[in-house]
A = this chain, B = another copy of it.
Amino acid sequence: MNGAQALIRTLVDAGVDTCFMNPGTSEMHFVAALDDVPEMHSVLALFEGVATGAADGYARMAGSPAASLLHLGPGLGNGLANLHNARRGRVPLVNIVGDHATYHAQYDAPLQSDISAIASSLEGWVHSCTDPDAVARDAAAAVAAAQGPPGQVATLILPADVCWLDSSGPATPIAPATAPDASENAIAEAAAALSGQGAAALMVGGAACMQDAVELAGAVCANSGANLLAETFPARLQRGAGRVEPQRLGYLAEFAQAQLAGLQHLILVESSRPVSFFAYPDKASDLVPEGCQVHVLTAPGENSVAALSQLLERLGGDAEPVRQAAARPEVPSGSLDAESMANVVGALLPEGAIVADEGNTTGLFVSGATAGAPPHDWLTLPGGAIGFGMPVATGAAVASPGRKVLNLESDGSAMYTFQSLWTQVREGLDVTTVILNNSSYAVLEMELARVGASAGGEKAHEMLDLTGPDLDFVSLARGLGVEQASRATTAEEFAEQLAAGLATEGPALIEAVVPPLL
């Protein structure tokens, strides 16, 4: 059994049985070993950013990591943006980066580069394996590191000769660590804050955005009068009719500040202190209002369910959390714009859907319009690196057979990782992609004004404009093998096409032509 075979066998034994890949020559022994470990599901991507984003999406839904397989430093570079997003979302991911054979590095061949330096930017577990007898143990360690809690990107750098040389065989998986408990102090401090006079809020993030924690957080709020907030961009939020939905903090600092205004206590439940996504001249970066005390109930990876249970017990009371009532908008008619598009989605979203939301400005109303739809999952962009939606939808679909994935995707964002559609077709994935085509980087048009850069001259606006030529997403989709691809220019057309897409098993794409929101 060579190193590659021992590695893949260990991954499968440790529960990592899906690998999204874009391999090269240095990964050929890994690829060859796939036939020796039939339990490993290997999924080919045409671009590394698709592979890493799919691994992210897979883990968000499966709750356990997938692997990605990349080709040396440049492959890691191509996959880095979506690894950044996984890191920021604390999503577990086993990132395998093939490298030259150990003895080949000294020759400084063309593809030689400092893979460790690039991987170090992910601030997770990084290890370069140099011994075929150690590779299986390293794989087990990588899986355990990825799982956390909290989850992280574990990067295993894998020289070609470590794969091809004889190994000592597979390693025993390491049992996943359990989430540590919050301190008694943290619980007491939160209880005191909630029992006092001032306005208070809980803000959930990370794993605490799952419904088991959110239900408890909602009960805490119901029994203390606190508000229930969530971080701006959770990796996964379970929502819909009958569920407790925290109010997500706004992306725009002004909105977030309005949500936080007047608070005297902000209790963080696996979330970070709220800060502005970007800096702006003469605007605050730290969004916590003056005089507001910030308390940490649980740090990321701590046991929020246990901590919230204890907190609820201390507070007492039996008020039920506020649950979302079932409600859907009417299917609208007339012009297609951000609002009517959102209402169509709200009217048609099926139970159990998984929404990968990279709708940006045009998507602004969708969250509201779907709040009372049947229960579903909502995947957002924790790291802010655009181009996550299509890959994450792809991986989520791999992890969730039988569930419908809806990808709301802005035009500009789509163009970073559009190759995802090909993998969706190849794997027969049940993903309906809605391209929100407003022919501009609308979010940047807004930001250009917000940063006070200037009114913006002609050249500046040209850099934010996606016309000349217009992107034709129906042609692009057909080029990647998506047969069911159509364009909608009215609300009726969009409703009809979305219904058809959701009714089809397998990939479909709808280009929704909408005016810029702003």
Binding site for B on A (CB under 8 A): 21, 23-26, 28-29, 31-32, 34-36, 38, 42, 44, 46-47, 49, 73-75, 77-81, 84-85, 88, 100-101, 103-104, 107-111, 113-115, 117-118, 120-123, 160-161, 164, 233, 272-273, 275-279, 281, 285-286, 382-385, 387, 412, 415-416, 418-419, 422, 425-426, 443-444, 447-448, 451-454, 456-460, 462-464, 466, 468-481
Contacts and interface: CB of A to CB of B under 8 A. Distances in A.
Q: How many copies of this protein are present in the complex?
A: 2
Contact of A476 (B84, B104, B480): B480
4 shortest interchain CB distances as A-B pairs: A469-B481, A35-B457, A77-B80, A476-B479
A478 B475 contact: yes
A466 to B, nearest CB: 8
17 contacts: A21-B463, A23-B463, A25-B277, A28-B444, A28-B448, A28-B451, A32-B457, A46-B466, A77-B80, A77-B84, A84-B113, A107-B276, A109-B275, A110-B384, A161-B281, A422-B469, A422-B471
Given A46-B416, A109-B384, A425-B468, 17 more contacts: A25-B447, A26-B278, A31-B460, A32-B448, A42-B459, A74-B85, A75-B81, A77-B77, A103-B279, A104-B278, A107-B275, A108-B275, A110-B277, A113-B121, A469-B480, A472-B478, A479-B479
A89 to B, nearest CB: 9
A90 B466 CA distance: 33
A74 B80 CA distance: 6
Nearest to A282: B164
Nearest to A483: B469
Contact of A118 (B85, B121, B454): B121
A471 B423 CA distance: 11
B471 A44 contact: no
Contacts of A73: 80, 84, 121
A23 B456 CA distance: 14
B109 A114 contact: no
A23 B444 contact: yes
A458 B77 contact: no
Contacts of A28: 444, 447-448, 451, 453
A34 B459 contact: yes
A88 B73 CA distance: 13
Nearest to A443: B25
B453 A32 contact: yes
A273 B100 CA distance: 17
A162 B472 CA distance: 38
A46 B415 contact: yes
Contact of A111 (B21, B122, B385, B458): B385
Given A275-B108, A416-B47, A481 B471 contact: yes
A408 to B, nearest CB: 19
Nearest to A106: B285
A46 B480 CA distance: 18
Contacts of A285: 101, 103-104, 107, 109
Contacts of A79: 77
Contact of A415 (B104, B419, B454): B419
Given A120-B114, A478-B472, A81 B77 contact: yes
Contacts of A111: 84, 277-278, 383-385
Contacts of A459: 34-35, 38, 42
